[in-house]
Amino acid sequence: MKITVIGTGYVGLVTGTCLAETGNEVICVDIDQEKVEKMRSGVIPIYEPHLDILFDRNIKANRLQFTTSLEEGLQHGEIIFLALPTPEDEDGSADLSYVLNVSEEIGKKIKSYKVIVDKSTVPVGTAEKVYSVIAKNASCEFDVVSNPEFLREGFAVDDFMKPERIVVGSSSDRATVLMQKLYSPFVRSGNPILIMDEKSAELTKYAANSFLATKITFMNEIANYCEKVGADVDKVRVGMGTDSRIGKRFLFPGIGYGGSCFPKDVKALQKAGKDSNYDFKILNAVIDVNVRQKTILLPKMEGYFKDDLKGKTIAVWGLAFKPETDDIREAPAIDMMNGLLKRGATLQVFDPEAMPNIKKQFGDTLQYSESMYDAVKGADALLICTEWSIFRTPDYAKLRELMNDTVIFDGRNLYNVDDLKTEKFTYISIGRKE
């Protein structure tokens, strides 16, 4: 099939590449000339495991092309994906200006039947808005469907190629048939393509992300309470998670959720609720708890250093909002580092992928280390903010030798508490006995 993807951010690039992989002819459109040139020559603008192989293969096979011309893109595809940014507005709502501006152009430029697919995370009612903006100028038939994506950064290729479900909001049989044809190679295992109305599809995405953020946040509160009463959150987590109604996943406590999705989507749903005269009390609490959780280790560090972090050297392992990405948006590490800098600490930081992004934001306020061991040289404490695999089995003897004081503040509960005792570390984590 002929497919066009407008917007080559994270979602657009993964969507375009993975659709090309199953034999579709894909053109990706972006206004950024330099980025388009780079992609044409095979340079991939994001870090995402396994995407590079597919990207390269499909460019070489001519199934994946790039252009800055919206006109060319709109002529090519029968299905047009909108994968445009929907940034957070000042009031927390999703800013639809990119989506609606492009829709206006689509209305003016399309000359034959098209299915316009909302892939971006957009508030309930957006498909309707997109439809009426296009309809103002369109001289041919078209349909608008909502098809939210459920990709996780770091696992995006796998999530796209083997989805647990595909959600399609469509009230046109013609569009539904095309969407089913497009996605059938991805659900050979029998996983469902769920067809529903556009509004329900749009809300499914917000509800799913907000539920997952709530699940994590609930567990973070249980972890905080465990500390008060001397319980162990690891035990509680397993005890709860083995109930299949609860499930084991997304129950890991830590220093809060971050990224470009959960924080933005929870706030957008809260705001959308307000606009419809509905107060999402549970989301208000999730947002508040997560803000507190991101710096929950600060008072513990202050306690350890008797309120005097000034001049202390702290090693920080893990800066990305989660492992397997270089994305630092809303990363808890940022809040922790800002808090420590404010208290006069010197920070020696290391992350396997996110250092360039952190450098852009923090400039010379941090000491950038070459390796995880380089970061702990002379450190008065080690702080762990992201659970990259390489941090899981450190050489403890080397840490003892390099560090000034052997204390670890672990925001991701990477280690067994007893093991660290045996290794003679003071170990302070989340929701477990010290």
Q: Which residues form the catalytic set? A: 261
Q: Is position 136 annotated in a ligand binding site?
A: no
Backbone angles phi, psi at 249, to 5 degrees: -85, 155
Among 27, 193, 261, 385, binds ligand UGA (CB under 6 A): 261
Q: Report if residue 163 touches ligand UGA, rule: CB under 6 A.
A: no
Lay out the site mask for ligand UGA across 215-254 (x = CB under 6 A, - = otherwise).
-x---------------------------------xxx-x
Helices (H) and strands (E) in the chain, counts: 18, 14
Contact (CB, 8 A) for 65 and 103: no
Q: Check binding of 81 to ligand UGA (CB under 6 A).
A: no
245 is in an annotated binding site: no
* Residue 209 sits in the site that holds ligand UGA (CB under 6 A): yes
Note whether 203 binds ligand UGA by CB under 6 A: no
Q: Which of 153, 227, 234, 335 touches ligand UGA (CB under 6 A)?
A: 153
352 contributes a contact to ligand UGA by CB under 6 A: no
Answer whether 18's CB lies under 8 Å from 157's CB: yes
DSSP structural state of residue 210: H
Q: Which is nearer to ligand UGA, 114 or 322 (CB)?
A: 322
Q: Least distance from C-beta 296 to ligand UGA, angstroms?
A: 12
Query: Is 190 labelled a binding residue?
Result: no
At CA 138, angle to CA 136 and CA 142, rounded to 5? 115
- The strand pair at 2-6 and 25-29 is best described as parallel
Residue 171 in tokens: 């009230």
- Compute φ and ψ for 126, nearest 5 degrees: -70, -40
How far are the Cα atoms of 43, 82, 106, 155, 178 from residue 51, in angstroms, in the given order? 11, 20, 29, 10, 25
The type of residue at 301 is M
Is 121 a known ligand-binding residue?
yes
**H or E stretch covering 346:** strand 346-350
CB of 330 to ligand UGA, least distance (A): 8
Nearer to ligand UGA, 39 or 212 (CB): 212
Whether the CB-CB separation of 94 and 268 falls below 8 Å is answered with yes
Q: Are 141 and 311 in contact (CB under 8 A)?
A: no
| Distance in Å, CB of 121 to ligand UGA, minimum | 6
Please, which residue, 107 or 169, has the CB nearer to ligand UGA?
169
Stretch 104-133 residues interacting with ligand UGA (CB under 6 A): 121
Nearer to ligand UGA, 262 or 317 (CB): 262
- 257 interacts with ligand UGA by CB under 6 A: yes
Q: Which of 259, 339, 352, 431 binds ligand UGA (CB under 6 A)?
A: 259
Considering the complex, what minimum distance in angstroms separates the CB of residue 255 from ligand UGA? 8
Q: Is residue 123 within 8 Å of residue 88, measured between CB atoms?
A: no
258 makes contact with ligand UGA (CB under 6 A):
yes
Site string for ligand UGA, 312-331 (x = CB under 6 A): ---------xx---------
CA 44 to mean position of chain CA atoms: 18
Assess contact for 222 and 413: CB atoms under 8 A: no
Contact 248, 242 (CB under 8 A): yes
Given a contact cutoff of 8 angstroms between Cβ atoms, the answer to whether 203 and 94 are in contact is no
Q: Determine if residue 150 is labeled as part of a ligand binding site.
A: yes
Considering beta carbons, is residue 216 or 309 the nearer one to ligand UGA? 216
Residues that bind ligand UGA (CB under 6 A): 121, 149-153, 209, 212, 216, 250-252, 254, 257-259, 261-262, 321-322
Instruction: Please give the annotated binding residues for substrate, written as ranges.
Output: 150-153, 205, 250-254, 258, 322
